[in-house]
Structure 1
Amino acid sequence: MTIWMNTLTATLSIPNLGSSVPLLATATEGEADSALVLASVLLSLVVIYFASKLGGEICFRINLPPVLGELVGGVIVGVSALGLLIFPEGGATASDSLLMQFLQATSSLTPETAPAVFSAQAEVISVLSELGVIILLFEIGLESDLKELIRVGPQAAIVAVVGVVTPFVLGTVGLVYLFHLDIIPSVFAGAALTATSIGITAKVLSEINRLTSSEGQIIIGAAVLDDILGIIVLAVVASLVKTGEIQVINIVYLMISAATFLIGAILIGRLLRPFYVNLINQMKTRGQLLLVSLSFAFVLSYIAQVIQLEAILGSFAAGLVLAETEKRKELEEQILPIADIFVPIFFVCVGAKTDLSVLNPAIPSNREGLIIAAFLIVVAILGKVVTGFSIFGQPNLNKLAIGVGMIPRGEVGLVFAGVGSASGALSPSTDAAIIMMVILTTFVAPPLLRIVFSEPVPVPQEQQPNP
């Protein structure tokens, strides 16, 4: 993924008091001390981990997805509130960062060298954030099951396709013709509406004992396929942002490239599975499974990157391939601590870069952003609810429950928002509107699922109490 490169490009010019100050010129006035850069990165990680765990723990205790807590924690420590973790691409300078001010008070950092240290620190954190999302998609791929997806059959496929196409078309067309947004941010916002968080839905279905029901199986299968379709859509849209061109032949080419890469990577990976397992079994040094698997994921991510797709598509494909090996369970256990280190960086950074002040209704220029947010929320909910009613010929299915189960965007929606924000395709108001849509859909889905599945679950005879 080239987000960190886009971030670096964006930081080459930092608005300061209404003027544009070249970063390279600033760096010559005071070169970044590597020790101070390391110190600032360490402090940033402390802030990130504290915000992610505090927010995650609070959300977990009130029966909400911890990822929401990481996002909200990022908002609190970011540009919208405390200003501890801020980034130059948003127009901030070193003097705006409380972390830089703390370094100046406790170390040898001077106002002259602060801009260079601030820029280097932001770049390092951005790179770590990108590693986080690559590992996240690798983990999602490991949790996916292609055989289960095939077993669920055409019903899940119909739900998934309708759940991707409907909100994407409604969102994109609405933003272009109702709000007169440019085509690229409209397409990106429409793409963000296509996601479905399989983790959130699966957790709720498990809690209410509906995971093995027909509705539950269709929801999970469709959510898995949604992940695949969503990654392809994200890769296509992000590539369009890079080229700056919206042409039908370009879109078709990118879609074919993404699909060919994903299918080809899976087929080739299946051929290499015996070699992979034998290599792991023959190695005697510590960490052989984790390092070989991550190397495979990084190689596919690199290939996806150099052919103008997104690195996350490669890591997702690697996860799908390795999920079919006998090492899957062991690898899932070993990747968890790595994900615990890097993935929170991504989500906290997404929250930290979100300037919620652009949605302040007291400022007239912000009101359009609020209206866009309301529009996206309506499309996000209705665009998924209709998916259940796309299944014909099965009157016994709870079709409303299927549609509601597809509503939550969760971490998948945040991936779209983070990619769009870092690529520069989204304005601050549109980016914040997408974040609001992700938060609301993730909040409302769990209670709505409980309501639509309000009928009591039959208790097996052997579990019924004796009279």
Structure 2
Amino acid sequence: MTDIYMLTWNWLSGSPLVAAATEAATESTTEEGSLILAGVLLSLVIIYFASQLGGEICSRINLPPVLGQLLGGVLIGISAFRLLVFPEGGSLASDSLIVSLLETTAGLSVESAPSVFAAQSEVISLLSELGVIILLFEIGLESDLKELIRVGPIAAVVAVVGVVTPFVAGTAGLVYIFNTPVIPAIFAGAALTATSIGITAKVLAEIGQLSSEEGQIIIGAAVLDDILGIVVLAVVASLVKTGEIQISNIVYLVISAAVFLIGSILLGRWISPLLIGLVNEMKTRGELLLTSLVFAFSLSYIATAIHLEGILGAFAAGLILAETEKRKELEEQVIPLADFFVPIFFVCVGARTDLSVLNPAVASNREGLIIAAFLIVVAVLGKVVTGFTVFGNPELNKLAIGVGMIPRGEVGLVFAGVGSASGALSEATDAAIIVMVISTTFIAPPLLRIVFKEKETIAQPVDKVQD
């Protein structure tokens, strides 16, 4: 019987019809590949244009450029011109103006449009994820490990208070004031715990406060917030799926996070002299940058493999390499790389933000807007209060520490996305979480700049008196 199958296959494989069909399929695949590349290139043109335009405008009116990148993303995203939309947000190929441009100018067929749209969106999403990894690696390089260790206990207090306060206040308020079912209320409360380290760190770097004591406390607390946020998300997701909390899963996440961070830093301090010695012996171009990226991506992979966030691995790698003699040289070499990848991340965060949920003319949005107003108050106050838990240093800008913890950014959107996908959230609650994320993401950068300026203004008369 096998011989018959083999003879039949040999005859078919030599058939002109089969050969023609195979050739056509190959050509179709090749054509789709070139169109995907065209879509990605067009997306990058639009992303960089929006990033530069928004950043330049904000810079000229004394606002953080990162805010302009976010606003640029909103304009080209689902809320406005729909140039850059993503299928995970419910958009179709027909909703994307980039796909329409490809159909008009590059001969993209209607049949191939959905697959090209999905692939192009996936590539941009991956570049965006690389952007936040590069950003956290750069932030790690600019941070001081010894200073982070010194402010570690303070950062831990800020992080814990910043997670517990909004979670308890948000969940209790939704249950007892708005009569929201317990599981959706817990999910919304969990979304309030997040802090977007990427957005805060970028603003701190732009205003020259990243290496300040307040900046180091904010960064340390935001890193811990990420870890606690992962644990909270895992617990809530488990609650939604099974109706019960799996203690073993919580214990695993906590232990793996602690072991990873402490272990990577200790091991990295032992490995880093070997890496630098290897770099010094190399004669090829890009030896320092590429070796450092291998190290950073390896730690990010390990973090992802044990179900943590890849950004934690990149941040740890930056901290470790910041203690080497190559720190300044590496910082300079990373800047062009960050300039390429990081804007993609911030523009994509803005592009995914759907401002239609803010329209009160739509009846279904009104309940969500009322809940959103409550969540915004809890989100802001729940983080601002964290700065005032710091005792023993009256010179610290406590308000700045609290404000630095406000933005939820992409982290909050992850919570909203998981909650929506699980079916745990009603449309009103889902819309409310999105509005809260939008609001905290956009108000934090200008507020952060204001509170740090107030500190400088207060300090000036003291300096003059001393002179």
TM-score (norm 1): 0.81
Match of 1:229 in 2: 224
Contact residue 152 and residue 220 of structure 2 kept, 8 A: no
Cα drift, residue 83 of structure 1: 0.7
> Matched residues in 1 for 2:196 and 2:109: separation?
47
Q: 2:443 aligns with which of 440, 444, 449?
A: 440
Contact residue 261 and residue 304 of structure 1 kept, 8 A: yes
> Matched residues in 1 for 2:175 and 2:286: separation?
50
Aligned length: 425
Comparing 280-289 with 93-102, which one deviates more in the overlay? 93-102
Q: Give CA deviations for 1:254-306 in whole Å, capped at 9, x if unaligned.
A: 12211111111111111112111111111110011111111111111111122
Match of 1:403 in 2: 399
Helix, strand or coil for the counterpart of 1:406? helix
Contact residue 129 and residue 345 of structure 1 kept, 8 A: yes
> Matched residues in 2 for 1:33 and 1:463: separation?
70
Q: Give CA deviations for 1:347-379 in whole Å, capped at 9, x if unaligned.
A: 111111111101211112112332343233322
Cα drift, residue 314 of structure 1: 1.5
Cα drift, residue 319 of structure 1: 1.5
Helix, strand or coil for the counterpart of 1:197? helix
Q: 1:220 aligns with which of 215, 231, 240?
A: 215
1:431 aligns with 2:426: no
What 5-or-longer segments of structure 1 have no aligned partner?
1-26
Match of 1:142 in 2: 141
> Matched residues in 2 for 1:82 and 1:272: separation?
49
Helix, strand or coil for the counterpart of 2:126? helix
Cα drift, residue 43 of structure 1: 0.3
What 5-or-longer segments of structure 2 have no aligned partner?
1-24, 422-429
> Matched residues in 2 for 1:304 and 1:382: separation?
31
Cα drift, residue 76 of structure 1: 0.5
1:46 alignment partner AA: V
Comparing 64-73 with 134-143, which one deviates more in the overlay? 134-143
Amino-acid identity (%)? 56
Cα drift, residue 36 of structure 1: 0.8
1:81 alignment partner AA: A
Match of 1:310 in 2: 309
Match of 1:34 in 2: 33
> Matched residues in 2 for 1:254 and 1:93: separation?
36
Cα drift, residue 333 of structure 1: 1.2
1:261 aligns with 2:240: no
Cα drift, residue 253 of structure 1: 2.4
> Matched residues in 2 for 1:391 and 1:168: separation?
20
Inter-CA distance 261–172: structure 2 relative to 1 (3 Å threshold):
farther
Inter-CA distance 329–376: structure 2 relative to 1 (3 Å threshold):
farther
1:457 aligns with 2:467: no
Q: Give CA deviations for 1:306-330 in whole Å, capped at 9, x if unaligned.
A: 2122222221221121121111111
After TM superposition, list the pairs within 5 Å mapping 1:256-405 onto structure 2.
256-392=255-391, 397=394, 401-405=397-401
Cα drift, residue 177 of structure 1: 5.3
Q: Give CA deviations for 1:435-455 in whole Å, capped at 9, x if unaligned.
A: 222212323333344446653
Comparing 413-422 with 297-306, which one deviates more in the overlay? 413-422
Match of 1:78 in 2: 77
TM-score (norm 2): 0.81
Contact residue 191 and residue 416 of structure 2 kept, 8 A: no
Helix, strand or coil for the counterpart of 2:43? helix
> Matched residues in 1 for 2:404 and 2:304: separation?
29
Match of 2:187 in 1: 185
Cα drift, residue 98 of structure 1: 1.1
Contact residue 41 and residue 124 of structure 1 kept, 8 A: yes
> Matched residues in 2 for 1:442 and 1:270: separation?
34
Contact residue 100 and residue 118 of structure 1 kept, 8 A: yes
2:412 alignment partner AA: A
Bigger helix fraction: 2
2:404 alignment partner AA: P
Contact residue 60 and residue 66 of structure 1 kept, 8 A: yes
Contact residue 136 and residue 343 of structure 1 kept, 8 A: yes
After TM superposition, list the pairs within 5 Å mapping 1:169-208 onto structure 2.
169-175=168-174, 178-179=177-178, 180=180, 182=184, 185-193=187-195, 197-201=200-204, 204=207
Q: Give CA deviations for 1:26-73 in whole Å, capped at 9, x if unaligned.
A: x99x86711111111100110111111111111111111111111111
Q: Give CA deviations for 1:215-248 in whole Å, capped at 9, x if unaligned.
A: x63x223213213212312433455577656434
Cα drift, residue 413 of structure 1: 3.3
1:190 alignment partner AA: L
Inter-CA distance 184–87: structure 2 relative to 1 (3 Å threshold):
farther
Match of 2:107 in 1: 108
CA RMSD, 1 decimal: 3.2
